[in-house]
Amino acid sequence: MELLKIDCLGKPLRLEGSLAGWQQLFWGDALVSVIQASPDNEGLKSHTFELATQAPTHTNLEGTEPAETIVTPTIKITLETDLQWQPFVIDYRLLKDDEVITSGQRTTKDIERQTPTVAVAEKRQFSVIGLASLGFKLLKSAKVIKVLLAGASVAAYSWLFSFQFALALIACLVFHEYGHIRAMKYFGMKTKGIYLIPFMGGLALSDEKINTRWQDVVISIMGPTFGLFMSLASLIAYWVTGNIFFAGLATFNALLNLFNLLPILPLDGGHILKSISFSMNSVMGLIACILGAAVGVYISYSLGLALLGFLLLIGSAEIVFEWKTRHQSHLLPLDRYGQIFSAIWYFLTVGALIGIIWYFAASGDQMLALPLEILKS
């Protein structure tokens, strides 16, 4: 990930690094210093390189004697950093011939809002697949495709169920995806909007990539959180009006968002729990993650939610098996506070959605009890 980017003698000086301990320093596009990966991935580090300065050339006008030999002077550039990963803080000093020319500090907020330098992509030869990919990108950028996909979704769900149910389902999907959009805008990311895909749900797209695990957690969980708000609003509307439509909307919307919180990629829950567990550097952190997953599976089976417990077990095992690859990610990890806060937010949202489903299942209505029966299957 890009840790630092400052000006150095008219060119950008860029420091790349990872949790694995390696660091690479670039001056412009040239690699000028490397620190290899090691367990010592924090603390004081120093990069030093030399730059040759341009000196005037002297020639003999008469051409009878050899030109004077010129010794090209060099400038020593040193970048000193003091790095802490969790919470992320990097203090830096840039020295020119042992004289400080700039210094400063970067934190998680700076990483969240940076636009990392991307290597220039190689030109590809013409291919049918490349042409199709270009066509798809052009379609995505057109507003008309959103209308077409939304219309296709309404038609598809109306064919399977009813027109009223299709509109209600579309509303649930749009409100869920709007939560993702709001989170993206909170981090200053440009968005392309919401795309409804028949039989697959919805998709919120952005022009930019995330830089931190915190961004991944917030963007992922805001969809189900907005879904929870919609279910709660529908629950209140049911209490006020007694209309069974609002009861059905509340419980089926809760089921839809609950499945999105399963710890299986690429679902929202997979992104959330992966960001939490991959931010744990110690073995004790991994053990705590495993114990938390085991408790979740046990509670699910104790409540008779067999399907939920099984999917929770499969998703948690997938994340645990990938835990060793966490240092290869370009995302800045969560600090301890962020891990705890994210876990509490996740489990409270899951619990609230299950509570809504359970509440309506106890009403005695077979249709309203269907979401709970699905979880028990």
CA distance 369 to 371: 6
DSSP string, 167-222: HHHHHHHHHHHHHHHHHHHHTT--EEEEEEETTTEEEEEESS---BHHHHHHHHHH
For residue range 187-236, what is the model confidence (pLDDT) as tens digits?
A: 888 887 777 666 566 667 777 788 899 999 999 999 999 999 999 999 99
- Kindly state the greatest CA–CA separation across the chain: 110
For residue range 50-105, what is the model confidence (pLDDT) as tens digits?
A: 887 665 555 555 555 555 555 567 888 899 899 888 888 889 999 888 888 888 99
Q: 21: which 2 tokens? A: 């301990």
Backbone CA torsion sign across 193, 195, 201, 206: negative
Give the closest residue to 319 by CA, choosing from 283, 259, 275.
275
Evaluate whether 222 touches 214 at the Cβ level (below 8 Å): no
**DSSP single-letter state for residue 304:** T
Supply the mean pLDDT for the chain.
Answer: 77
